[in-house]
Structure 1
Amino acid sequence: MSVITLENVSKKFKGNTLFNQVNLNIEKGRIYGIVGPNGSGKSVLFKMICGFIYPDEGNLIVEGKLIGQSKNRFPNNFGIIIDRPGYIANKTGFQNLKELASILGVIDEDKIEDTMELVGLLPESDQKVKNYSLGMKQKLAIAQAIMEDQQVLILDEPFNALDFDSVKHIRKLLDSYRQEGRTILITSHNQEDIDILCDSVYRINNFKLEKVI
């Protein structure tokens, strides 16, 4: 079952061609790795899939719905880490997640607390996000992407700044989500992350997505 489909997608960014007539099917319950050098378009691809930017040509279809139409501006039930998420600096991690959770209103404070603990953060801490380490900010980014049990995870460099034990823990967590039937797309500069986690790997090469595995 295809969750995400790219049909003849082309995209230029800042005058440079990144993708030309790309076709791709993302199936439910698998982890996909997207690899390529810096500037090749990994983040742009993820932004198109999430509806943040549009392709110049072609269609992006998520669960049978064409993304970009007025009624389908963004796909539903996506958990996303792209670039560096912004937070309210003078609020705690818990307060930030509570603000985000209020948008949809589908989870309660207990769920937020459980998610923070799951990624290795202390929900009761009064430490402001502006004083978080890079690793703590990354864990907070992961928490916001998973706290509402999102069924599709779009994770651009999710392991950045994490220590060794945290990397092992988050890998195990993502693997458990795959076993539950969730669909995950990741990028990582660490080839080991890709090798351990991914069922399929695509490399951006000559403006196409070339299947590696």
Structure 2
Amino acid sequence: MKIEIDNITKKIGSQTVLDCISLSMESPAIYGLKGRNGSGKTMLMRAICGLIRLSEGEIRINGEILRKDISFPRSVGILIESPGFISHYSAYENLEALISIKNIVSRERITETLEMVGLEPGDKKSFRKFSLGMKQKLGIAAAIIEEPELVILDEPTNALDEQSLERLKKILGHLKEKGALVIISCHDTEDLLALSDVIIEMQDGKVISEWKINR
């Protein structure tokens, strides 16, 4: 998986939310987006997912131009903002409904994924009764269950305790081992440094620095 971001700009009214960004990302690796609220991290993730129309520039995914050759990345798992789940379904039932759309993974994968993120597959509790941490875990599970080539997680550490953070680290490492390209954002700099191979720092819609983490 290779993503080439070529001089992209996004304007909303008179505001420039992405400003002449050029980047290259290639798997297997974990890229961490660093910056304050409003720096452009989420908007860049939305652009890579094909969820917004750019004002200028283009994004190529494995050589295909996004929103021209393809509408969305061909193999992607996404956690951006609050994911939508069926409120009266359990965690298992929600994932069961999700995987039925493409029908490319087995029901056994639901159990495996729920256990991976720290949720009990047999728990009948409905989503509406979930804590914030449980909702976040289910959002991560939904993003990774089909083992996509591209995984985009916006603030995946929100509402997670230390044990869950360790699980997340193992999950991201597993995705990388399987050859995925992972893009995450995180408010906590220490967590971002622990999870990422490359840090991309953003400010006012621009990339101001990029560096590799030496392990």
Offset of residue 6 of structure 1:
0.6
Residue 139 of structure 2: which of 138, 141, 151 is its match? 141
Q: Which residue in 2 is equivalent to 1:27?
A: 26
Q: Which residue in 2 is equivalent to 1:64?
A: 63
Output the CA distance in 1 between the equivalents of 2:60 and 2:142: 24
2:182 match: secondary structure: strand
Give the aligned residue type for 1:188: C
RMSD over aligned Cα atoms: 1.3
TM normalised by structure 2 equals 0.94
Offset of residue 177 of structure 1:
1.9
TM normalised by structure 1 equals 0.94
Give the aligned residue type for 1:95: E
Output the CA distance in 2 between the equivalents of 1:147 and 1:108: 10
Contact 2:40 2:204 in 1 (8 A): no
Q: Which residue in 2 is equivalent to 1:3?
A: 2
Q: Which residue in 1 is equivalent to 2:107?
A: 109
Output the CA distance in 2 between the equivalents of 1:13 and 1:82: 19
Offset of residue 152 of structure 1:
1.1
Give the aligned residue type for 2:163: D
Q: Which residue in 1 is equivalent to 2:201?
A: 203
Give the aligned residue type for 1:89: S
2:137 match: secondary structure: helix
Percent sequence identity is 36
Q: Over residues 99-155 of structure 1, what are the superposed CA-to-partner deviations in whole Å (9 max), with x where a residue is unaligned?
A: 111111101211111111111111111100000111011110010111101121111
Q: How many residues align?
A: 211
Output the CA distance in 1 between the equivalents of 2:93 and 2:51: 25
Offset of residue 207 of structure 1:
3.4
User: Which structure 1 residue ranges, 5 or more long, are not aligned?
Assistant: none
Contact 2:147 2:175 in 1 (8 A): no
Contact 2:18 2:43 in 1 (8 A): no
